[in-house]
Amino acid sequence: MFTQEQMRRNAALMLDLKEEMEQSCAKYGTVKKVIVYDNHPDGIVSVSFTTTDESDNAVKYLNGRVVDGRRLTAELWDGKTKYKVEETEEEAERRHAEFEKYISGNEKKENDGEQVVK
């Protein structure tokens, strides 16, 4: 659903993705939980439904769908695979610094090839 670069550039992306997936998947059934694995290199988002029929339906309609130029792979969880990727201390510090810039309004923006501090 996302690249690591997109996640680094947009501090609000994780929350946006979670909300978007909740809304998008609600048409397949009752969404119990959405988890965005923000450190996973494959851009993994997990959606839990109330019943297996709802999960099956979501996989059927989401698998192969193209979003932002990327073809999604939707599949049922095998019950074993762990998607959480622990970040290093350096990665956590960098993420916190980027988030601080974002919330203070000092993030750098691209403007016709020039970087502008806003």
* Superfamily of domain 4-81, CATH level 4: RRM (RNA recognition motif) domain (3.30.70.330)
pTM of the predicted model over 0.85: no
88 pLDDT band, cuts 50/70/90, is confident
Euclidean distance between CA atoms 3 and 22, whole angstroms: 19
Q: Any idea where the domains of the chain sit in the sequence?
A: 4-81, 87-118
pLDDT per position as a tens digit, 4-57: 888 888 878 999 999 999 999 999 999 999 999 988 999 999 999 999 999 999
Q: How confident is the model at residue 68 (pLDDT cuts 50, 70, 90)?
A: confident
Q: What residue type is assigned to position 29 of the chain?
A: G
Average pLDDT over residues 60-83: 93
Which residues make Cβ contacts (< 8 Å) with residue 49, sequence separation at least 6?
25, 28, 29, 30, 31, 32, 55, 58
- Model confidence band, residue 106 (pLDDT cutoffs 50, 70, 90): low
Of all residues in the chain, what percent carry a pLDDT higher than 70? 89
Q: Rounded to whole angstroms, what are the CA distances from 94 to 17, 59, 98, 115?
A: 21, 35, 6, 19
Buried b / exposed e over 18-32, threshold 16 CB at 10 Å, is bebbeebbeebbebe
